[in-house]
Amino acid sequence: MNKIVLLTLFGLLLAMVACKSDENQKKKVDLPQDKEEQKAPDDEPRNEEVYSIPSPNEQYDLLRALGGELKQGTVNELSNVSEYSTRQKKALNFGVYLSDAAYLMRYDQGKKVFLDYVSTLDKLGRDLDITKVYGEELLKEVEEIGADSERLFELTSDNYLTVYDQMIDNGKGSDLTLILGGSWIETMHILFATSGEFEENYEIQEYIVDQKYILQNLIGFASAYDDDEDVAKLIEDLEAIQTAYEELDCKESSLEVEQEEGDVMVLSGGSACLFTASSYKNMKSLIKEIRSSIVS
Comparing 42 with 99, the larger pLDDT belongs to 99
Size of the chain, expressed as the number of residues it contains? 296
Domain boundaries, the chain: 7-295
Comparing 222 with 142, the larger pLDDT belongs to 222
Closest CA to 178 of 101, 75, 96: 96
Per residue in 143-172, pLDDT (tens digit) is 666 667 677 777 777 777 777 777 888 888
Statement: residue 183 has pLDDT above 60: yes
What per-residue confidence (pLDDT) applies to 137?
A: 63
What per-residue confidence (pLDDT) applies to 75?
A: 96
CA distance 84 to 104: 22
B/e letters for 82-91, b = 16+ CB within 10 Å, e = fewer, are: eebeeebbbb
CA distance 107 to 97: 15
Average model confidence (pLDDT) across the chain: 78
Statement: residue 5 has pLDDT above 70: no
Statement: residue 36 has pLDDT above 60: no
CB 27 within 8 A of CB 267: yes
CA R_g for the chain: 19
CB 160 within 8 A of CB 102: yes
Handedness of CA 40, 42, 48, 53 (dihedral sign): negative
Per residue in 37-77, pLDDT (tens digit) is 433 444 444 445 554 788 888 888 899 888 888 888 899 99
